[in-house]
A and B are shown apart, each in its own frame.
Chain A
Amino acid sequence: MTPLLEVRGVSKRFGGLLAVSDVSFTLNQGEILGLIGPNGAGKTTLFNVVNGVYKSDQGSITFSGRDIAGMSPHKIVHLGLARTHQIVQPLNEMTVLDNVTVGACFGREYLGLSAARAVAREVLEQVGMGSRTKVLARSLTIAGKKRLEVARALAAKPALLLLDEVLAGLNPTEVAQMIELVRSIRDRGVSIFMIEHLMQAVMNLSDRIVVLNFGQKLAEGRPEDVARDPQVVEAYLGDPDIAEKLMEKN
């Protein structure tokens, strides 16, 4: 099987800071790949490099067989790679429906306005916001805005969805709902690459996990193996028994 996303030797430098250093990994079709690591490890920077917000200084990024390194973000969306933001970026003075319509209009299918509206309604129904279409995005709660981020990205009909901490800041009920949503997205055939700090969620959702520390890849593998890796425990998890604890609750 050819990987959907292949990142090889990617580095990104900001002045004297090497934010991402020689990172390589692959993401397979239909997979949920988790990305974890301490604050400042370069996770979001890696996302920004993958979806074209930053240009990588080195390395290659291949998505569905095409080299996307250095491509601008809007072109990468057209190829079917959408993302959400860690710090939500709603189009405040526009309605929820219009926010999602933008995603559908300018996404992979580059739909016309009325077709995009229909897709937007469908997606909003799917993420459980079907009753809030006419509300201004500004007036949503943080959980609503996170859902909106996901809906907007989904409306682009991506093959791969990058989720940047969609669980952060949500209460336990909202977390459970969001986890369900992420699962349902994957069940519809969308591959997912997600940054997450909530260990229990990421351990249970992910098929595999990549660990970053100081911009470098520390480990990669199945969740239980990664959680037992002594380097990962030392750099990030802190508790050598965490793997057992997290898996138990599943």
Chain B
Amino acid sequence: MIFRRPLFWLILILSAAFIYLPLRGQNVPLREDLILVAIAIILASNLNLMIGYTGYVNFGHIVFYGLGGYFGLYLTSIRGWNLVLAALAAGVAVSFLALLFGLGILRLRGAYFALATIGVLEAIQAFVINFDPWGRSTGMYLSFESYQAWGGAMRALWIDYYLIIGIMALSMILSLGIKISKFGLGLFAIRENEDAAAVLGVNTTVYKAIVYSVSAFLPAVAGALMFFKNGMIDPFVAFEFMLSLEGIVMLMLGGQGSVTGAALGAGMYEWLRSSLLTSPKLSDFQLVIAGGLLLVVVLFAPGGLIGWVYRLVPPSREVIE
């Protein structure tokens, strides 16, 4: 049972802290910092389902987030939907699309799969750039009325923030839930040796397609919420390849395959980026640092921070999930 796992309660405490800290004294700058951390945790946790659990490197993971943002903004702003409903619809739509793509590209393995995921990202970006209802390359702006429904922009942004924290909590709980389930065991078997897993009775095709689709759901919801906050979207911010790469770096840093590792990696990377971004001279300097860090991690601690802890204290495998 998931309620018996200490990590489950830790996730709830962390999420409560994320809600309480900026609320105290209406600290908007802190809220804006934490929202980026939350998004990073959402993206890294769900990417972990593919990379860490199943062993399939998805370079195009950001496509779910961007598409979610587009669906969300389109439905709230142009169709006048309620934000929560629009975000859920975005999640369902993107998950369904992911299932279709997944059944196609998950026949590929290793580097070929990774390349195909870049292809998916590029193809969808190219499609959106030419898609009239979504404003082609200029994108879409949120109509201000969408905020009015929530009692003004200020209140809407706070509510949006709580929703994003909720999705962050759900992302980690989903990761934990899958990790301790039979489904998760099947995924791990695929990661370790896909052919052996099939011979042991795992329906690998279906498992891979399901996890690819599941890993799309919460990032898409988060995308809808985040671009609602930003108030605008265009194909270049929505489908930024660099963000996809950063998600992978977060996982490598924290430790792929671990719920805690994904969250820690996301937190550390976001912290690093925000501290480096404060200096105008060092704009985008986090990428240089990230590259160097990644090299160090891959060479000296291939399992990331958590993998390093596992190696140092082997019994911790049983404790840290």
Interface set of A (CB-CB < 8 Å, partner B): 51, 53, 72-74, 77-78, 83, 85, 89-94, 98, 101-103, 105-107, 110, 112-113, 116, 134, 152, 156
Complex: how many Å from CA A105 to CA B199? Answer: 13
Known: A91-B189, A102-B185. A77 touches B201 (CB 8 A): yes
Contacts of A51 on B, CB cut-off 8 Å? 199
Given the complex of chains A and B, what is the CA–CA distance between A101 and B204 in angstroms?
A: 17
Is B204 a contact of A74 with CB atoms below 8 Å? yes
Q: Smallest CB-CB separation from A106: which chain B residue?
A: B201
Q: Is residue B195 within 8 Å, beta carbon to beta carbon, of the partner chain?
A: yes
Q: State the Cβ distance, B169 to closest chain A Cβ, in Å.
A: 24
Say yes or no: A105 contacts B182, CB within 8 Å: yes
Given contacts A98-B188, A102-B185, contact A74 B202 (CB under 8 A): yes
The answer to whether B219 has its CB under 8 Å from any CB of chain A is no
Main SS of the interface on chain B?
A: helix
Minimum C-beta distance from A2 to chain B (A): 25
Inter-subunit contact A102/B199 (CB<8 Å): no
The listed residue (B182, B189, B198) touching A73 by CB distance below 8 A is B198
User: Which of A105, A107, A110 has a CB less than 8 Å from the CB of B185?
Assistant: A105
A98 and B185 contact, CB distance less than 8 A: yes
Cα-based distance from A110 to B199 in the complex (angstroms):
14
Interface size for B (C-beta < 8 A) is 20
Q: Which of B180-211 contact A (CB under 8 A)?
A: 180-182, 185-186, 188-189, 192-193, 195-204
24 pairs from A and B in contact (CB 8 Å cutoff):
A51-B199, A73-B198, A73-B199, A73-B201, A74-B200, A74-B201, A89-B193, A89-B199, A90-B192, A91-B192, A91-B193, A94-B189, A101-B185, A102-B186, A102-B189, A102-B200, A102-B202, A103-B200, A103-B201, A106-B186, A106-B201, A107-B201, A113-B182, A113-B185
* Other-chain residue from A73, A93, A105, A110 in contact with B192 (beta carbon distance below 8 A): A93
Interface of A is mostly: loop
**A91/B203 contact (C-beta < 8 A), A98-B188, A113-B182, A113-B185 known:** no
Contacts of A106 in B (CB 8 A): 186, 200-202
A-B contact number at CB 8 A: 74
- Give A107 to B200 CA distance when docked, in angstroms: 7
Q: Which residues of A contact B180 (CB under 8 A)?
A: 113
- Cβ B193 vs Cβ A74 within 8 A: no
Nearest neighbor of B205 in chain A, beta-carbon distance: A72
Closest 3 pairs between A and B when the two form their complex, measured CB to CB: A106-B201, A91-B192, A77-B201
Chain B residues with CB under 8 A of A98: 185, 188
Scoring B residues 256 to 300 as 1 if CB is less than 8 Å from chain A, else 0, what string do you get?
A: 000000000000000000000000000000000000000000000
Q: Is the CB of A74 within 8 A of B188?
A: no
Contact A72 B199, beta carbon cutoff 8 Å? no
Task: Report the Cα distance A113→B193, complex, angstroms.
Answer: 20
* Cα–Cα distance between A156 and B193 once the two chains are bound (Å): 18
A1 to B196, CA, bound (A): 33
A78, B201: Cβ atoms closer than 8 Å: yes
| Chain B residue contacts of A102, Cβ below 8 A | 185-186, 189, 197, 200, 202
Interchain CA distance A91-B182 in the complex, whole Å? 16
**CB contact under 8 A between A156 and B200, given known A91-B188, A92-B192:** yes
* B:231-253 near A, CB below 8 Å: none
Minimum CB distance partner of A116 in chain B: B182
Docked pose: A53 CA to B202 CA in angstroms: 13
Query: What residue in chain A is nearest B203 (Cβ atoms)?
Result: A74
Give A146 Cβ to nearest chain B Cβ, in Å: 14
In the complex, how many angstroms separate the beta carbon of A130 from the nearest chain B beta carbon?
Answer: 18
Measured CB to CB, the nearest residue on chain A to B180 is A113
Determine the distance from Cα of A50 to Cα of B210 in the docked complex, in whole angstroms. Answer: 28
A53 and B188 contact, CB distance less than 8 A: no
In Å, the complex CA distance between A196 and B196 comes to 21
Which residues of B lie under 8 Å from residue A90 when comparing CB positions? 192-193, 196
Q: Which residues of B contact A152 (CB under 8 A)?
A: 200
Select from chain A the residue with minimum beta-carbon distance to B182: A113
Minimal Cβ-Cβ distance residue in B for A114: B182
CA distance A72 to B200 in the complex (A): 11
Whether A94 and B192, one on each chain, are in contact in the complex, defined by CB atoms closer than 8 angstroms, is yes
Q: Chain B residues near A94: list those with CB within 8 A.
A: 188-189, 192
14 further contact pairs, Cβ within 8 A, besides A74-B199, A91-B188, A102-B186: A73-B201, A74-B200, A89-B193, A89-B195, A89-B199, A91-B192, A91-B196, A94-B188, A98-B188, A101-B185, A102-B197, A102-B202, A113-B181, A156-B200
* Cα of A93 to Cα of B185 in the assembled complex, Å: 12
Alpha-carbon distance between A77 and B193 when the two chains are bound, in angstroms: 17
Which B residues touch A93, using CB under 8 A?
192
CA of A71 to CA of B199, assembled, Å: 12
Complex Cα distance A51/B201, Å? 11
**In angstroms, how far is the closest chain B Cβ from the Cβ of A107?**
5
| Chain B residue at smallest Cβ distance from A138 | B192
Residues of B within 8 A of A113 (CB): 180-182, 185
When the two chains form their complex, are residues A72 and B186 in contact, meaning their CB atoms are under 8 A apart? no
The CA-CA distance from A102 to B185 in the complex, in Å, is: 7
